């Protein structure tokens, strides 16, 4: 690549030598006009595109990378996902959503988990099943996963009934055996929510919408 680069540049210079001469003459004889022309044709569109991209990333749609296997097999390590940041401005999250949020113990970190407990819910993990408000969740995706009690963590020990505060959520990883989630560090405050993960966009063989 390094060897061919000078040859490519030389070829482009020969191909566009007339245009280059015209640009150089334009620059040396009418510098202010040249600068204005380049700003209108290149600088201004680039600035507008950059501002739009920043606004979309900040307020509408954000790309994230999955760092661990805590959400297997829904997400694999290295998957890149898009997160919808606007939906929750119009309605509350629903049980089963895959949420992205600021980690309660370190808001500089973003976590991806599945929403299991809504504000005001009672929740228990019993024999691998998730019991919400006294009833086992038999529907997918919860029926597809086995949830583990962790006696060395503060929440969801065997026989423990959890009461979700009215301003918070309870989140679990789909790969319960290898997930640090609300069983360990507690509840996700509403203010920590970023958005809802809805699709994988990379790698190419993994592109799909997710539930």
Q: Are strands 80-84 and 98-102 parallel, antiparallel or unpaired?
A: unpaired
Q: Which residues contact 87 (CB under 8 A, 6 or more apart)?
A: 195, 196
Nearest CA to 98 out of 80, 109, 111, 86 is that of 111
| Torsion over CA: 104, 169, 67, 207 (sign) | negative
113 is catalytic: yes
Three-class secondary structure of residue 62 per DSSP: strand
Place of tokens 């929440």: 155
CA–CA distance, 24 with 194 (Å, rounded to integer): 50
Which candidate in 19, 65, 70, 179 is catalytic?
A: 70
Which candidate in 113, 168, 176, 182 is catalytic?
A: 113
Q: Where are the alpha helices (DSSP H) in the chain?
A: 4-15, 17-29, 31-38, 44-55, 182-185
190 is catalytic: no
Q: Which residues are catalytically annotated?
A: 70, 113
């Amino acid at each position: 690549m390094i060897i061919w680069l000078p040859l490519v540049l030389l070829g482009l210079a020969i191909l566009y030598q007339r245009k280059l001469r015209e640009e150089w003459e334009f620059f040396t004889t009418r510098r202010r006009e040249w600068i204005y022309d380049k700003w209108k044709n290149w600088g201004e569109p680039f600035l507008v595109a950059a501002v739009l991209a920043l606004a979309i990333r900040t307020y509408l749609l954000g790309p994230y990378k999955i760092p661990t296997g805590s959400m297997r097999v829904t997400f694999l390590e290295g998957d890149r996902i898009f997160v919808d940041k606007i939906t929750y401005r119009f309605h509350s999250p629903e049980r089963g959503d895959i949420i992205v949020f600021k980690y309660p113990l370190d808001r500089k970190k973003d976590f991806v988990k599945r929403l299991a407990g809504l504000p005001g819910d009672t929740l228990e993990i019993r024999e691998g099943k998730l019991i919400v408000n006294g009833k086992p969740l038999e529907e997918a995706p919860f029926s597809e996963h086995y949830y583990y009690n962790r006696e060395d963590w503060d929440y969801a020990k065997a026989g423990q009934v959890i009461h979700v505060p009215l301003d918070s959520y309870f989140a679990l990883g789909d790969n319960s055996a290898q997930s640090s989630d609300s069983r360990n560090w507690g509840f996700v405050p509403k203010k920590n929510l970023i958005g809802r993960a809805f699709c994988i966009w990379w790698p190419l063989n993994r592109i799909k919408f997710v539930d």
